Structure 1
Amino acid sequence: MPIIINLDVMLAKRKVKSKDLALAIGITEQNLSLLKQGKVKGFRFATLEAICEYLDCQPGDILEYIPNQEG
């Protein structure tokens, strides 16, 4: 998948535990883990907004597009 989720990177930069973020934004730790691993097909803008607000970052700090190199 060409969309990479860099949530682990932002959590490390902000020195925030996954457990604390999940509690703050109102999702389960299991769902946050699936999101961090990129095992979700999508998530709500409200969730992205809550993550960005809590981590004081931009969506582009969390989501990255890398085009397929197949050809």
Structure 2
Amino acid sequence: MSIIVNLDIMLAKRDMKSKELAEIIGITEANLSILKSGKAKAVRFSTLEAICKALECQPADILEYVED
């Protein structure tokens, strides 16, 4: 099982840079980069909520399940 992180796609649709999103949601650019790359082992619901609020989207717009 794989979880695909489509954060880059949502950032592009909103014409927003990673740096700007990191500032808005209050995390470091390094931590946002780890999340974007799919290397994060977990994501806090509060972080996911902040991302969705900033990008005006739903969690399913960012996270996708793909069966191996």
Class of the TM-score when normalised by the shorter of the 2 chains: over 0.9
CA distance in 2, matches of 1:58, 1:39: 21
Alignment length (residue pairs): 68
Matched letter for residue 51 of structure 2:
I
SS at 2:4 equivalent: strand
Q: Any unmatched runs of 5+ in structure 2? A: none
RMSD: 0.7
Runs of 4+ in 1 over 2 A off after TM superposition: none
CA distance in 1, matches of 2:12, 2:2: 23
Quote the residue 2:8 is aligned against. 8
CA distance in 2, matches of 1:9, 1:55: 11
TM-score for the superposition, normalised by structure 1: 0.93
| Identity within the alignment, % | 68
Quote the residue 1:28 is aligned against. 28
CA distance in 2, matches of 1:67, 1:39: 17
TM-score for the superposition, normalised by structure 2: 0.97
